Structure 1
């Protein structure tokens, strides 16, 4: 999902959830849930997920998004290898979660 698609989904009321997935090495990915489907945020025209280095990077990128919070999800490294999707199976259940404001 691109930032433009995310913006449109939020404006249309189809955005259900935003999650900031924290991985080892200060790598963060944004996972969206729109119409019940999960997807990672991608850069425009790029097939690979867009990487962020901090919560502040995400806040800057999503500053115009009409959505108040994002769920910071720290995955258990031991469970990541068995995950079948961005957040799936046991990794989803074992994750530590904290809801934070996108617009402090």
Structure 2
């Protein structure tokens, strides 16, 4: 939440609440989805700590589901920030277009 704030962390971009620019500093300089990666690593660590084969299988499942989510979310996020940059360059915003 340090870089994104509350609205950026909790799906603000899906509701039109964008950051001034797409966040690319750490941890986003290492991965485009640090919360998904961190969550997967926590599941993996718990499965290893408990010695749970089922936990390892579930961790793999979580990884697959997150990969599918990222396949949709990463292009969408790129699109909305590209569109916002184009609108800013053109001097229009969605609110101005509707008037």
Shorter-normalised TM-score: what interval?
under 0.3
Greater fraction of residues in helix: 2
Instruction: Name the structure, 1 or 2, with higher relative contact order (CA <8 Å, separation 6+).
Output: 1
Greater fraction of residues in strand: 1
Larger radius of gyration: 2
The TM-score, its normalising length taken from structure 1, stands at 0.25
